[in-house]
Structure 1
């Protein structure tokens, strides 16, 4: 193995989606870094635009639904198959999740001991350590984002994996049935505030508080896109529709489009990414260049809260007292630093851990699912 192997996509069939993963991860970092980027209030227009970038998590659910369908449709037939699938998902998600959880547990203990000025009972709730360890923190058990706060979406994703046999069965009955089920779920989620006033946030803002429900429609839309991928690929000018949808999302964010409507634009970006990947026209040079960076999307996503807490909050704000343009440059520097750090995490921690976990209990006569 080379000391620094190049980033490579898993296949050449999803380059537009891989490019979306790369861009989406960067924009989510910008969203979370934004309170330091606009710390002096001089970048209010940017602040207003960036607030909508939180919806990009829903784009990742769409991409995941498509990718999981592409890889596992027709391949989970028995309980043993499902066990191997879950083991592969644990191998992919959990090592970095557990590592970052450990970092934030150390931060919480240091705060209790007075070693750092960081005590937040809701963020560092001891009762949520076990749910985080088991990846259940978005099942309504923890009422706030705890420890590595972005991990709620990983928990929501895990719920979709647990439901996958049911979803694949439904998809197997026909795309129309899956579409109908998705429409019913979306209608129910949008109507919920009318019947449950206590639900004071629309579902597309849910995180730890039943983020599993937020993940469901996006994941199922990704599965629908897989079912109609051939028709999507025949859409005239699919690649240009895809680029137009990306611009539409950014424009909608800039003009502060109502979030419920912008959510559907976000869904459309994912579906049109599928269309572009299934079109007969080969991806352009920009997409081909961006696609391999999608391999770092999970690492960037999971590691950036540590940079946010330590580099920006403790050091930049607390120790160096940075503000204005100096703080913005500090944010840029740490945003760029996340790239090599994420690369090292992927190559020298996540992949070895993934391979080790994937081998646990592997029968000699049976090859586990990819």
Structure 2
């Protein structure tokens, strides 16, 4: 059977970039932390710039991780279900795409935290920056249940959870191809069990939502008409569920399903083909891993010169500048760091005979940042 052509989902990429923007606005609150682990504005975010307009991002930006995980499942399914690859190829792609920037920012944060301790007498934003947690982060195991709490480049915890799901996904690929209907049913109903039982494990949460994204792709793959029905049903449900005793967490997940379906349907039908916002999706991973190191550097500098950080951060122009600088750095990172390392690692392993499928092109697949996870596990 001839494999289906690999499709690029432009609007799905753009929606992922929008979720990354939500994370940046949510984490803007880090500028108000006087030192690591101390949140002075918990429950009172009135001092945040443009809070009246951006309150949904400041107060609920941690939901973005669930959206990222659903998108991840969708993109991985679109990339690999109809295009089989060997285990070496799959995991080399994942390592080459994710690890170089993770390692670089881990070292950067470790240096910045040391400088902060020496310069101002305390660390910034996240605690537990010791050798034990450095080792966990080094192996991307910071969310596997061995950690005390968030540490170093804290947002990486959601990526750590997803790394485990990659192994499960690769193992399940033959079954996804053989039983797509069963997979769709499991993907739809499994999150109900998760939300009903309030599963605390980030890895388990990620797995449920990841496979929900897989189910969304399989539904679209089966029939665009069915996908349209699913999208309309999801959006109608969300519109009436607010008046019913239905958990907000479930409403949010259903809304995310509808959003992914709508964007994917538009991409599939070819209504939207413009690539002018491609950079926005490309910068997602970089923006996620680079914004905390930047905040640590800024916080340390302002503390060293004894400048009132909350006063500076409350200026709306500072919020605009922060978001602009992060996405600017992320765009540069994608072009001059992430892409070259990805291609270089894959090419080297292909030469060693460990990977048979180096094409010379950069396959983004699904780089998935995220932060916060509904009412089950959140962080500042």
- Short-chain TM bin: 0.7 to 0.9
Work out which of the residue numbers 242, 248, 267 in structure 1 matches 2:257: 267
Distance 1:43 1:364 in 2: 54
In the TM superposition, residue 62 of structure 1 has moved relative to its aligned partner by: 1.7
Work out which of the residue numbers 10, 13, 22 in structure 2 matches 1:18: 13
Contact 1:123 1:147 survives alignment (8 Å): yes
Distance 1:224 1:121 in 2: 35
Pair 69,25 (structure 1): closer, same or farther in 2 beyond 3 Å? same
Equivalent residue for 1:367? 357
Equivalent residue for 1:357? 345
Work out which of the residue numbers 213, 216, 220 in structure 2 matches 1:225: 216
Pair 42,154 (structure 1): closer, same or farther in 2 beyond 3 Å? closer
1:30 lines up with 2:30 in the alignment: no
Pair 84,341 (structure 1): closer, same or farther in 2 beyond 3 Å? same
Contact 1:111 1:117 survives alignment (8 Å): yes
Size of the alignment, in residue pairs?
334
1:301 lines up with 2:285 in the alignment: no
Work out which of the residue numbers 73, 81, 91 in structure 2 matches 1:73: 81
Work out which of the residue numbers 101, 105, 110 in structure 2 matches 1:96: 101
In the TM superposition, residue 30 of structure 1 has moved relative to its aligned partner by: 0.8
Distance 2:87 2:13 in 1: 26
1:131 lines up with 2:118 in the alignment: no
1:169-318 alignment runs, 5 A limit: 169-183=174-188, 185-192=190-197, 202-203=198-199, 210-231=201-222, 233-234=224-225, 258-278=248-268, 280-283=269-272, 288-311=275-298, 314-315=301-302
Distance 1:138 1:223 in 2: 22
Contact 1:28 1:54 survives alignment (8 Å): yes
Q: Say what the alpha-carbon RMSD is for the aligned residues.
A: 3.6
Unaligned runs of at least 5 residues, structure 1 = 1-10, 193-201
Distance 2:97 2:125 in 1: 30
Equivalent residue for 2:326? 338
In the TM superposition, residue 271 of structure 1 has moved relative to its aligned partner by: 2.8
Distance 1:237 1:178 in 2: 19
In the TM superposition, residue 338 of structure 1 has moved relative to its aligned partner by: 1.4
In the TM superposition, residue 175 of structure 1 has moved relative to its aligned partner by: 2.3
Stretch of structure 1 that moved more, 320-329 or 63-72: 320-329
Pair 327,87 (structure 1): closer, same or farther in 2 beyond 3 Å? same
Unaligned runs of at least 5 residues, structure 2 = 1-5, 33-44, 364-380
Instruction: Give the TM-score normalised by structure 1.
Output: 0.77
Equivalent residue for 2:69? 61
Contact 2:113 2:296 survives alignment (8 Å): no
